Amino acid sequence: MMEPNWEELTKEFKFSTARSGGSGGQHVNKVETKVIVKFDIQASTILNNDQKNLLKTRLNKRLAKGTELSMYCQATRSQLKNKERLTLNFIRLLKKSLTVQKKRKPTKINKAAKQKKLEDKRRRSAIKKSRQKPRLD
């Protein structure tokens, strides 16, 4: 599956701001530093249908209105820094959701590894047995 052009995809993000909570005192009460991003997966022109379906299935618990993905950042007191952080995190989330994991090939433990495991078990058993109190019978 081909990766989308992330620069072009960021142009489809809809950013908005709001007042954020936390530290900052009077400053936080009058400045909108919290940044919110919304992205409508279905309306995207950059993603193909396979990518859209993959995102919808993997992120279905995070979607609003069936196809709208949103996220916010209010970590810093600067709106610009929050926007940069949010963009990076949002792209990271999309990349992670679009990667297809390779199928696991089941493997068998070889004979030498089995023998070593059994020998270690016997050695450990002998050590623990030597620590026990002697039995009277």
Instruction: Sketch the domain layout of the chain as residue ranges.
Output: 6-98
Q: Which of 15, 30, 28, 29 is nearest to 72 (CA)?
A: 15
CA atoms within 13 A on the CB side of 90: 28
pTM for the structure as a whole: 0.70
The per-residue pLDDT for 37 is 95
Q: Which of 22, 47, 43 is nearest to 33 (CA)?
A: 22
CB of 46 closer than 8 Å to CB of 5: yes
The per-residue pLDDT for 17 is 93
* Average pLDDT per 10 consecutive residues for the chain, totaling 137 residues: 81 91 74 92 90 90 89 90 94 91 91 96 95 84
Fold held by 6-98: Double Stranded RNA Binding Domain (3.30.160)
User: What's the CA gap between 33 and 76, in Å, rounded?
Assistant: 8
